[in-house]
Structures are given as C-alpha cells and as structure tokens.
Amino acid sequence: MKVLPETMQRIVNGSSMANGSALVGMAAAVSGAVGVATLGALGAGSVMGNAVRLAGTQVDAADAKAAEASGGDAPQRSRISRAAAMTGYTAGNLVSAPLADAGRRLSGQQPRHGLATWRMNADLANRNRLLQGDTNKPPPPPGGGGNTIS
C-alpha cells in the first residue's frame, strides 16, 4: 500500500520526501533565503551609517555656507539645533537613496546585479565623498579670481 503513494509523489514532484535528497534540497533553499535576508539586513545597517555620515557632512557644508555668507564666522549651533539638522538630513538621505536607486534602475543607468541596499550604500558613500571634496577645496584667490586676460 505504501509503494503507490510514494510512486505518485515521485511522478508529480520528481522526488520523494521519504529519501534524504528532498530534505537536503529544502534545507539548501532555506539557508539560501536566510543568507540573502542577512546580507540585506547588514546592508540596511550600513546604509543607515552612510546616511548619518552624509548628514554630518551636509550640516558642516551648510555651516560653511552660512559662514561664507556672514563674512567668515560660522554661527554657533546649539546641540538641539545640530541634532535636529542631523535628523532631518538623515531622514532625507534615507528617503532619497531608494528613490534614486529606483530611478537609476528604471532609466538603465544602473547595472542589474547586486542588492539594492548595497547599491544605495555605495551611492550615499559617493555623495559624501563628493560633498567633502567640495567643502575642503581651497577658496578662490582674492582679486576677482584671476580669470582675466590682460
């Protein structure tokens, strides 16, 4: 009696749950799903870290811009003001990262491989690097910039 149900199961599924190969296949599928979920979770934490780092650079750039506008002295921010600015910039970065990633994917500017969290992580790190480069560049020379030919 037991032979007929196992035979039908082999015909329908291609394997029987009674032998070990089906269990090994199921275990491999579960471990693969757990691995992908773990990589995604690790990437999400890294995205948060890069969003905070970018927010710090954005606050510093805003302070430098305010200092330039007021003649060289940056206005002193209170701790609460700095925390509010960091929170706002971080939230903005966390919202803009997946939108920019989706836009690049839809327009074909981004490769099809890789997890979205790692692509967003790389984008935030690149934006931070570029903003730091802009903030740390030397000021133009005095006297009109020296771009005139005489």
Model confidence pLDDT, tens digit, residues 87-118: 999 999 999 998 998 888 888 887 667 778 88
pTM: 0.63
* C-alpha to C-alpha distance for 144 and 150, rounded to whole angstroms: 13
Residue boundaries of the structural domains of the chain: 26-132
Q: What is the DSSP string of 136-149?
A: TSPPPPTTGGG---
DSSP 115: -
Q: What is the pLDDT of residues 119-142, one digit of tens each?
A: 888 899 999 999 998 877 777 676
